[in-house]
Amino acid sequence: MKIVSLTLARGGSKGVPRKNLVLLQGRPLIHYVIEASKASRVDQTWVSTEDKEIAAVSLSLGASVINRPDHLATDTSKCEESLLHFAENVDFDIIVFIQTTSPLVTSEDINKGIDLLQTGKYDSVFSVTEEHWVPKWTQNMTPINWDHFKRPRRQEMETTFIENGAFYITTKNFLLKHKNRYGGNIGYVEIPLSRSFQVDSLEELELIGKLLC
Angle (CA) 10 123 185, round 5°: 115
Non-local CB neighbours of 185 within 8 Å, separated by 6+ positions: 121, 122, 123, 124
Taking the C-alpha atoms of residue 169 and residue 47, their distance in angstroms, rounded to an integer, is: 16
At residue 98, the 3 state secondary structure works out as strand
Taking the C-alpha atoms of residue 61 and residue 56, their distance in angstroms, rounded to an integer, is: 9
Non-local CB neighbours of 118 within 8 Å, separated by 6+ positions: 1, 94
3-state DSSP percent of the chain in helix, strand and coil, to 5: 30, 25, 45
Residue 151 annotated in active site: yes
Q: To 10 degrees, the CA torsion angle through 106, 107, 109, 113?
A: 150
Q: Which of 18, 151, 154, 181 is catalytic?
A: 151
For the annotated catalytic residues, the residue numbers are 151
